[in-house]
Structure 1
Amino acid sequence: MIRLDDVTLTFPDGDARVTAVDHVSLTARPGTVTAVTGPSGSGKSSLLAVAATLIRPDSGTVTVGEVDTTALDAREAAELRRTSIGIVFQQSNLLPSLTAGEQLRVMGELGGRRAPGARAATLRRADELLDAVGLSAQRDRRPHQLSGGQRQRVNIARALMNDPAVLLVDEPTSALDQERGAEIIELLLRLSAERDAATLLVTHDVVHLPRMHRVVRLVDGRLVDGRPDDPVRDAVDLPHAHARHGI
C-alpha cells in the first residue's frame, strides 16, 4: 500500500514559491490501479515524483507499506526504490544496446548481493516477466527492433523486476494509438492484480478511466474529486463500467 497524508510541495519562483501539490491525501491499495487525472500543469507529475521518493515534500508524509519515506535519507530512499517501488516512465528509456531480456536482467542485478544462484534466479525472473507481458519471442530484440507498444511492455516488465509493492506509472499511453493504449492499460490492471501491487497511474487519456478501480482528479495541485479513503470498486463491477462507457 502507498499512502500520502496531507502532502504539500512547493518550488521557488523568483522571490516567491509556487505550490505544485497542495495538501493532498491519497491511498492506493494492493492489487488495484488508482488513476490520477487533471489538466496539464495541475501537479500530477509532481505528485508522482513525491510518491516515488524522488522529491521530498515540504510537509506531509508518504508511507510505503510500513515505511515513512519522508524520514529516509537519500541512500535509504534509493534502496527503497530499488526494492519496493517500480517506476514506469512516460518514455521507455530503454538502453539501445541491450536486448529486451538484458534490460530486465540489469535491473535485477543492480545493487543486489551476489548470492549463490542469484544470476539464475534473475534469468528466470526476467523470462517470467517477458512471458507475462507477451514478449517471450522478442527477448533477444533490441529497442529499435520493437514497436512502441512493445517497448512500453518492456518498460512495465522492467519496473516489476524486483517485485515492488508499489507501481508508479506516468502517462503510459501518451505515445500510443488507442488500441495499443488499451492493451497497455489492460496489462497494468492484470499485472497489478496478479502481483498485488498498489498502482498509481497518471494519465490524460480519459477513455481508459472506466477501467480503473478508482479515479481522482487534481486541479491546481488540489484533489478535487475522490476522497483519501474512497472505497475501491470491486473488480466484478468493472465489466459493467466498461459497458456503460461503450468499452
Structure 2
Amino acid sequence: MISLNDITLTFPDGDERITAVDNVTLTAHPGTVTGITGPSGSGKSSLLAVAATLIRPDSGQVLIDGVDATALAPREATELRREQIGIVFQQSNLIPSLTAHEQLTVMNELGARHSRGRRTAVAKRSRELLDAVGLAPHADKRPHQLSGGQRQRVNIARALMNEPSVLLIDEPTSALDQERGASIIELILRLTGDLKTSTLLVTHDLVHLPQMHGVVTLVDGRIVADPPRTASTPLRADLGAVAS
C-alpha cells in the first residue's frame, strides 16, 4: 500500500518558490488503480516523482507498506525503490541492443545483491511476465522490431520484475492511438488485480478514468474534485483517499 500524507513540494524560482504539489493526501490499496489527472502543469508528474522517492518533498510523508520513505537516507530510499516500487515512465526508454527478454533480465544486474545466484529465477520470471503482457512470441525481438504498444508492454513488464508492492505509471497511453491505449489500460488493470499492486497512474486521457478504482484531479498542485462518474463504475468520492 502507498499513502501520501499532506505532501507539499516547491521549486526555486528566482528569489521565490513555486508550489508544485500543495498538501496532497491520497492512498492506493493493493489491487487497485488510482488515476491522477488534471491539466498540464498541475503537478501530476511531480507528485508521482515524490511517490517514487525520486524527489524528497518539502513536507509530508510517503508511506510504502508502512515505511516512511521521506525519513530514509538516500541509499535506503534507493533500496526501497529497487525492492518495492515499479516505475513505468512515459517513454519506454528500452535499450536498443537488448531483446525484450533481456530488457527484463538486465534489471537483476543493476546494483542488486546476490544477482548472479538469481539469474535462473530471473530468467523464468521474465518469460512469465512477457507471457502475461502477451509478448511471449516476441521475447527475442529488439525494440525496433516492436510496435509502440508492444514496447510499452515491455516497459510495464520490466517495472514488475522486482515484484513491487507499488506500481507508479506516468502517461502510459500518450504516444499510442486510442485502441492501443485502451489495451494498455486494460492490461494495467488486470495485472494490478492479479499481482495485488497498489497502482498510481497519471493520465491526461479522460476516456480511461471510469475504469479506475479511484480518481483524483489536481489543479495548481491541489486535489480539487473527483471527475464525473458513470453509473456502471463506482469511484470513491473522498478527495483525500482512495479506499479498497
Q: TM class by shorter-chain length?
A: over 0.9
Measure the CA separation in 2 of the matches of 1:200 and 1:97.
30
Alignment match, 1:79:
79
1:74 CA drift (Å): 1.1
Q: Mark the runs of 5 or more structure 2 residues left unpaired by the alignment.
A: 226-237
> Where in structure 2 are the equivalents of 1:54-133 lying within 5 Å?
54-114=54-114, 117-133=117-133
Alignment match, 2:211:
211
Counterpart of 1:185, as a letter, is I
1:229 CA drift (Å): 2.7
Counterpart of 1:39, as a letter, is P
TM-score by length of 2: 0.93
Measure the CA separation in 2 of the matches of 1:115 and 1:90.
28
Count of aligned positions: 232
Measure the CA separation in 1 of the matches of 2:48 and 2:103.
23
Alignment match, 2:23:
23
Measure the CA separation in 2 of the matches of 1:115 and 1:20.
38
1:228 CA drift (Å): 1.9
Alignment match, 1:155:
155
Measure the CA separation in 2 of the matches of 1:77 and 1:142.
32
Measure the CA separation in 2 of the matches of 1:126 and 1:115.
14
1:116 CA drift (Å): 7.4
User: Relative to 1, partners in 2 of residues 1:111 and 1:36: Cα closer, same or farther, differing over 3 Å?
Assistant: same
1:136-177 deviation digits (Å, cap 9, x = unpaired): 011100000000000000000000000000000000000000
User: Relative to 1, partners in 2 of residues 1:98 and 1:116: Cα closer, same or farther, differing over 3 Å?
Assistant: closer
1:202 CA drift (Å): 0.2
1:76-134 deviation digits (Å, cap 9, x = unpaired): 11111110000000000000010000000011332233377511101100000000000
Alignment match, 2:168:
168
Alignment match, 1:13:
13
Counterpart of 2:194, as a letter, is E
Alignment match, 1:201:
201
> Where in structure 2 are the equivalents of 1:228-247 lying within 5 Å?
228-232=240-244
> SS at 1:77's partner residue?
helix
Matched, 1:141 2:141: yes
C-alpha RMSD over aligned residues: 1.1
Measure the CA separation in 2 of the matches of 1:117 and 1:62.
32
Contact 2:109 2:115 in 1 (8 A): no
> SS at 1:90's partner residue?
coil
Measure the CA separation in 2 of the matches of 1:102 and 1:115.
15
> SS at 2:216's partner residue?
strand
Measure the CA separation in 1 of the matches of 2:174 and 2:116.
41
Counterpart of 1:229, as a letter, is A
Q: Mark the runs of 5 or more structure 1 residues left unpaired by the alignment.
A: 233-247
